């Protein structure tokens, strides 16, 4: 499966993934499409923004192609776990 197909497929899961799974999806997607995080860290009051920033920043150094491969594998595991809407 391609990266783009996985990005579409994840939108059709029967059940929403956990917050940790969503952060992993976000981080791998951003690393795969943008590369290393070079944005400024969000302020203390932006809890959600900080969590997303930290998750993405944790992928620093992973090549974009490798991140895309990991994203596809992770989406595949989520599809197995949650199933897809009919």
**Residue 17 pLDDT > 90, yes or no?**
yes
Architecture per CATH, domain 3-82, reads as Up-down Bundle (1.20)
Cα(29)–Cα(7) distance, integer angstroms? 8
pLDDT digits (tens, 9 = 90+) for 63-73: 999 999 999 99
Contact 82, 13 (CB under 8 A): yes
Contacts (Cβ under 8 Å, ≥6 apart) of 11: none
Query: What pTM was computed for the model?
Result: 0.94
Q: What is the 3-state composition of the chain as percent helix, strand, coil, each rounded to the nearest 5?
A: 65, 0, 35
Locus of tokens 């981080």: 27
The residues facing 13 across adjacent strands are 84
């Amino acid at each position: 499966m391609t990266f783009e197909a996985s990005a579409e497929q994840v939108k059709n899961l029967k059940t929403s993934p956990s917050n940790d799974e969503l952060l992993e999806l976000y981080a791998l997607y951003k690393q795969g499409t943008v590369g290393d995080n070079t944005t400024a860290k969000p302020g203390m009051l932006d809890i959600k923004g900080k969590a997303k920033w930290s998750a993405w920043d944790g992928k620093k150094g992973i090549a974009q192609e490798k991140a895309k491969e990991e994203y596809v594998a992770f989406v595949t595991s989520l599809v197995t776990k949650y199933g897809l809407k009919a």
